[in-house]
């Protein structure tokens, strides 16, 4: 199952870039949220055939957290410390071909949030999940990394 990635209301360039790359890696679609309400975003995602949504929020112009939604907010919220994205001339990524590698207990807890089916393809993107990071590897080389500052609980009122 692919994932619909969207941003906070007025995303900075770094947040938009992260959202686009996540959509590419996870085989989904990306859309800037703009003035749309949560209900409008969910409706647009469902119309495009997506059940799971990933919201990339920001603070002070930088990506700050990843929040997942499917018929309600899912836990945990991933708090972002820093982001390393690939160069613009990075290799082509085949959408949907991804293999999850849970590095520790927290990685196993995070894996279901991304709602991807593990690929058996040898050239699949590997997504390494751990307490400290979400790292994407392509051909054995790091393609992108999201360093995590920690995890949080869903705060419903903040998300509307």
Per-residue pLDDT reduced to its tens digit, 92-147: 555 557 888 899 999 999 999 987 777 777 677 889 999 999 999 887 888 889 99
Sorted by where each starts, the structural domains of the chain and their CATH numbers stand as: 3-159 (3.40.50.10480)
pLDDT-based confidence at residue 89 (cuts at 50, 70, 90): low
pTM listed for this prediction: 0.87
Asked if pLDDT for residue 25 goes beyond 90, the answer is no
Distance CA 146, CA 128 (A): 10
pLDDT-based confidence at residue 8 (cuts at 50, 70, 90): confident
Coil, strand, or helix at residue 123? coil
Sheet order of strands, 125-129 included: 29-31, 3-7, 52-59, 62-69, 73-84, 141-152, 133-138, 125-129, 98-102
Coil, strand, or helix at residue 127? strand
pLDDT digit string, tens, across residues 138-148: 878 888 899 99
Percent of the chain residues topping a pLDDT of 70: 89
Task: Identify which has the larger pLDDT, 41 or 92.
Answer: 41
Closest residue by Cα to residue 103 from 79, 81, 80, 135: 135
**What integer pLDDT is reported at residue 160 of this predicted model?**
53
Distance CA 29, CA 48 (A): 9
Surface-to-core class of residue 4, CB atoms within 10 Å of its CB (0-12 exposed, 13-18 middle, 19+ buried): buried
pLDDT-based confidence at residue 90 (cuts at 50, 70, 90): low
For the chain, give the mean pLDDT.
86
Q: Which residue has the tokens 């993107």?
A: 125
């Amino acid at each position: 199952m692919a994932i619909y990635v969207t941003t906070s209301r007025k995303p900075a360039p770094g947040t938009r870039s992260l959202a686009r790359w996540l959509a590419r890696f996870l085989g989904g679609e990306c859309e800037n949220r703009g003035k749309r309400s949560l209900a409008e975003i969910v409706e647009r995602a469902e119309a495009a055939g997506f059940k799971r949504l990933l919201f990339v929020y920001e603070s002070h112009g930088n990506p700050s957290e990843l929040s997942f939604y499917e018929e309600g907010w899912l836990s945990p919220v991933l708090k972002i410390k820093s982001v390393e994205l690939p160069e613009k001339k990075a290799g082509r990524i085949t959408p949907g071909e991804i293999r999850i590698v849970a590095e520790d207990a927290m990685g196993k807890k995070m894996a279901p949030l991304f709602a991807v089916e593990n690929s058996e393809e040898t050239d699949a993107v590997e997504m390494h999940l751990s307490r400290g990071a979400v790292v994407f590897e392509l051909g054995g080389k790091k393609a992108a990394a999201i360093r995590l500052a920690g995890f949080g609980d869903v705060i419903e009122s903040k998300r509307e």
